[in-house]
Amino acid sequence: AQKITQTQPGMFVQEKEAVTLDCTYDTSDPSYGLFWYKQPSSGEMIFLIYQGSYDQQNATEGRYSLNFQKARKSANLVISASQLGDSAMYFCAMRGSNNAGNMLTFGGGTRLMVKP
């Protein structure tokens, strides 16, 4: 079984500052992928960034980067230079190589609010 934990129900950040959203995971799969999604108030789920368990470098996509610490089983999302449009729910998720269907398992989410 795999599990994703996001311990921050809500976060505030000042516009133009950086923010880190925490994510820890648990899995027995030897290979797995970690994903972050953004969900604005309109409801759609937007894929942001991916990190593979064997990737040597932390993933980056524009203002998003993933602080991957495999030994600690953490995959924190860092958003640099926050913008008002970053206000949304953020979900950490993972897929393992051995679970049936390799389904995507989600954490409970963190609501980020960017202050002007």
- Applying CB under 8 A, among 56, 57, 100, 116 the residue interacting with other proteins is 100
**3, 7, 52, 81: residue in contact with other proteins (rule CB under 8 A):** 52
Of 58 and 102, CB closest to other proteins: 102
Q: How far is the CB of 108 from other proteins (least distance, A)?
A: 5
For residue 34, the minimal CB distance to other proteins (Å) is 10
Q: Which is nearer to other proteins, 43 or 62 (CB)?
A: 43
Question: Which of 66, 68, 107, 114 contacts other proteins by CB under 8 A?
Answer: 107
Secondary structure of the chain in HEC code, one letter for each residue: CCEEECCCCEEEEECCCCEEECCEEECCCCCEEEEEEEECCCCCCEEEEEEECCCCCCCEECCEEEEEECCCCEEEEEECCCCHHHCEEEEEEEEECCCHHHCCEECCCEEEEEEC
